Chain A
Amino acid sequence: MAAFDEMLPESSGPRRPYTAYDRWLKEQDPARLTQKTQDAERVFRKTGITFAVYGEQEASERLIPFDIVPRIISGQEWRRLTQGIEQRVQALNAFLDDIYHRQEILRAGRIPKELIAGNEAFLPEMIGVRPPAGVYTHIIGVDIVRTGENDFFVLEDNARTPSGVSYMLENRETMMQLFPELFQKIKVRPVENYPALLRRSLAAVKPESTSGTPTVAVLTPGSYNSAYFEHAFLADQMGVQLVEGPDLRVVDGHVAMRTTEGFKQIDVLYRRVDDAFLDPLTFRPDSALGIPGIMDVYRAGNITIANAPGTGIADDKAIYSYMPEIVEFYTGRKAILGNIPTWRCSEPDSLKYVLEHIGELVVKEVHGSGGYGMLVGPAASKKECEAFTEKLKAKPSNYIAQPTLALSTCPILTEKGLAPRHVDLRPYVLVSDRIQIVPGGLTRVALKEGSLVVNSSQGGGTKDTWVLDD
């Protein structure tokens, strides 16, 4: 299966967006580039941009490998992508509002009722609750894959708490430190205003009862969390407090944080804690990460929680397969960005097909994330396929399957020079009274030859993503 290479397609020279970069690259001394790769690693270690890997004692703090060859997207490609993303994000928010209110889409029979009723990501506590400014999912990281010149697909919507945006920012920072001359030559659209946009976006969805400038805070599960660096980074860049559950308490109908001068009210909480841990009185009673009573404050309209509780129902993998219908239902137009064909194993015909073709498909858990609990058929051994077949048969509704896509590749710098590796793209979208998409995103790259798994927890790396100002 020949993959589409975004820089150097087999036939001719470099693709248009890469011409200037390719010219520059050819003039470089390979030894210097290798040196730059090491410099980059030192920069990352020094700043402490690490992530924790679950289940690995020794390497509890690791770096995500960084590749110095940028992923380049032309201005034209970007404009098309953003139109598709905006449409999708509008649909996601409309869907959430509908699903927690009148449920028109279920009445219209466009998606099956069982899919909502029996879904763990659907929170009955949110029924009838309208979040401040009517926004449910404020920060979205849409995972996009490419298979050809004009073929972009959405792989996942990530409408809960998408991570990785700090890497987008630090990757750019690092590239500008390593290769300042490149940014003189090539006009790359900046991404560094993301934290400022995020703060403005969060402030714009403050509760109606808040007058004046709202107090914003980032809620983290704590410094042992794998994405702690990012939580601290964002709070720091936005100039807001980074809080943990035990810092917060409900005081006089508001959420407040314990400061050296007593309790201070918080109006907007950018939470990086899962729904289940948010409020031990409403959800998991054993949660030490949450704030008892915060859901009551939320229902009373006295705090904005971003993203809203219950948004998971929109990026659930079972719902995902209905996204083309969802987009059309709420926007009245066909989806600009396509889905990847998906077999829902809950449907007998689909299950039959999946079981027969398991060696060719990618099978995913409906609620899984981070590349855990999935089977990549073509890369799996016979034994692994058989084990997964048993799991599928035991609980079909827990799985979906997709064809193994020929994800596009982009070269990385290896010891032997450039070598193509599969990539995906996660642009970051901010929703408040408007939708904003920072020109760039996180490009994840599978570092192993032929591998399609780009997740950092599974040996993936990252690249700086350039959107050209052309």
Chain B
Amino acid sequence: MLLGRNANGLYWMNRYIERAENMARLVDAGLRMALTRTQGAAEEWASVVISAGSDVAYGQKYQEHSAANVSDFLLRDTSNPSSVMASIETARFNARMVRTALTRETWESINEAWMALKRMLAKPIDERDLPTVLDAIKRETALIRGAFYGTMLRNEIFDFSQLGTYVERADNTARILDVKYYVLLPSISWVGSTLDNYQWESILRSVSAHRSYRWVYEAEYKPTNIADYLILNARMPRSLTFCYRFVIEHLDFLARDYSARHACHDTAECIHKMLKVGSIKDIFDAGLHEFLTGFIRENTRLGDQIALDYRFY
């Protein structure tokens, strides 16, 4: 038996842990681009901010897109609710609220991540320390995941947690792909051609897939392949299809556990179907941007529906 408030806490705790990790990846990709290009770094940082979904808030605070400003805003600025520090704070706040649902190891890993990052992000980050800080963020979130997978009972607590993780991850991947694609693909006629562009790597890097891409596809970056990889590849752990495989799985566990199906099950099935039918070509034909914005909207709707069906409030 699980309190609705705790289901909500578990869901958001995991969304924010996932968000913190993805934010670090995004900054990492931006940093890499800035280092490998002699000019136009500002453009790359601007696209990082847009991918993070923080361009409006950023614009209210800064005019220029410099490494220092962007990394400060996305990593340490607690006035930005999606910054790494704010995300970890929110994750810990939720973890504290659902403390009784977590194993000691899981709680301690979150608490320790919070303590470590609070210390590390207390002062503005020296550009030279940025790689170390980004590594530390990824390591802390990896430790949380390890403690979580290693010690948590596979029950409803686990299911609601995983729903948070995969709904957030799917949202993040869809956003990155949508934003970057716009920036990178000057015209639709370029689809299918081979582009010699460092920037393609940054999409893959921001989802930690720049190496695995080559294991699956050919060595060159092709727009269709990249989209296929991030949307339809069922084995790529950050692809939309992968995320939805698990969203469905955990919703099904809940349905079995509680002997009840809800509207959210139908919503999830609908989205899953959208990913299963057709090929990447069909998606391009209908318009990638339209597909992705539609997905993001439906994904958000699923989150709301889960909250409603399982009495989060």
Say whether B258 contacts A258, CB under 8 Å: no
Choose among B3, B97, B100, B254 the residue that contacts A259 (Cβ–Cβ < 8 A): B3
Say whether B3 contacts A223, CB under 8 Å: no
The interface bits of chain A over 38-62 (1 if a CB of B lies within 8 angstroms of the residue's CB, else 0) are 0000000111100000000000000
Say whether B100 contacts A260, CB under 8 Å: no
Say whether A261 contacts B258, CB under 8 Å: yes
Question: In the assembled complex, which residues on chain B have CB atoms less than 8 Å from the CB atom of A241?
Answer: 1, 3, 100
Q: Is A232 an interface residue (CB 8 A)?
A: yes
Q: Is B107 an interface residue (CB 8 A)?
A: yes
Choose among B2, B108, B258 the residue that contacts A47 (Cβ–Cβ < 8 A): B108
From residue 220 to 245 of chain A, which have CB atoms closer than 8 A to chain B?
223, 228, 232, 235-236, 241-244
Question: In the assembled complex, which residues on chain B have CB atoms less than 8 Å from the CB atom of A257?
Answer: 3
Please, how many angstroms separate the alpha-carbon atoms of A241 and B1 in the complex? 9
Choose among B2, B97, B107 the residue that contacts A48 (Cβ–Cβ < 8 A): B107
Say whether B107 contacts A242, CB under 8 Å: no
From residue 178 to 200 of chain A, which have CB atoms closer than 8 A to chain B?
none
Please, how many angstroms separate the alpha-carbon atoms of A258 and B3 in the complex? 6
Closest residue of chain B to A235, judged by CB? B100
Question: In the assembled complex, which residues on chain B have CB atoms less than 8 Å from the CB atom of A264?
Answer: 1
Interface size on B, residues (CB 8 A): 24
Question: In the assembled complex, which residues on chain A have CB atoms less than 8 Å from the CB atom of B258?
Answer: 260-261
Say whether A259 contacts B96, CB under 8 Å: no
With A223-B93, A246-B5 known as contacts, the answer to whether A258 contacts B311 (CB < 8 A) is: yes
Q: Is A86 an interface residue (CB 8 A)?
A: no
With A48-B96, A232-B99, A232-B100 known as contacts, the answer to whether A261 contacts B5 (CB < 8 A) is: no
Say whether B4 contacts A247, CB under 8 Å: yes
Say whether A243 contacts B3, CB under 8 Å: yes
Q: Is A109 an interface residue (CB 8 A)?
A: no
The interface bits of chain A over 244-260 (1 if a CB of B lies within 8 angstroms of the residue's CB, else 0) are 10110000000001111
The interface bits of chain B over 149-190 (1 if a CB of A lies within 8 angstroms of the residue's CB, else 0) are 000000010001000000000000000000000000000000
Tell me the total A-B contact number using a CB cutoff of 8 A.
59
Q: Is A262 an interface residue (CB 8 A)?
A: yes
Q: Is B112 an interface residue (CB 8 A)?
A: yes
Say whether A247 contacts B3, CB under 8 Å: yes
CB distance from B146 to the nearest CB of A (A): 16
From residue 270 to 313 of chain B, which have CB atoms closer than 8 A to chain A?
310-311
**A-B contact list, 8 entries, CB within 8 Å:** A48-B108, A48-B111, A228-B96, A232-B96, A232-B100, A247-B3, A247-B4, A261-B260
Identify which of A235, A242, A247 gathers the most chain B CB atoms within 10 Å of its CB: A242
Say whether B4 contacts A260, CB under 8 Å: yes
Please, how many angstroms separate the alpha-carbon atoms of A266 and B37 in the complex? 63
CB distance from A252 to the nearest CB of B (A): 18
Please, how many angstroms separate the alpha-carbon atoms of A142 and B310 in the complex? 43
Question: In the assembled complex, which residues on chain B have CB atoms less than 8 Å from the CB atom of A260?
Answer: 2-4, 7, 156, 160, 254, 258, 310-311
The interface bits of chain A over 11-30 (1 if a CB of B lies within 8 angstroms of the residue's CB, else 0) are 00000000000000000000
Say whether B108 contacts A46, CB under 8 Å: yes
Closest residue of chain A to B260, judged by CB? A261
Question: In the assembled complex, which residues on chain A have CB atoms less than 8 Å from the CB atom of B7?
Answer: 260
Please, how many angstroms separate the alpha-carbon atoms of A48 and B7 in the complex? 22
Say whether B112 contacts A46, CB under 8 Å: yes
Q: Is B115 an interface residue (CB 8 A)?
A: yes
The interface bits of chain B over 231-269 (1 if a CB of A lies within 8 angstroms of the residue's CB, else 0) are 000000000000000000000001000101000000000
Question: In the assembled complex, which residues on chain B have CB atoms less than 8 Å from the CB atom of A45?
Answer: 115
Question: In the assembled complex, which residues on chain B have CB atoms less than 8 Å from the CB atom of A228?
Answer: 96
Say whether B311 contacts A223, CB under 8 Å: no
Please, how many angstroms separate the alpha-carbon atoms of A227 and B243 in the complex? 39
Please, how many angstroms separate the alpha-carbon atoms of A243 and B97 in the complex? 10
Say whether B107 contacts A259, CB under 8 Å: no
From residue 99 to 151 of chain B, which have CB atoms closer than 8 A to chain A?
99-100, 104, 107-108, 111-112, 115
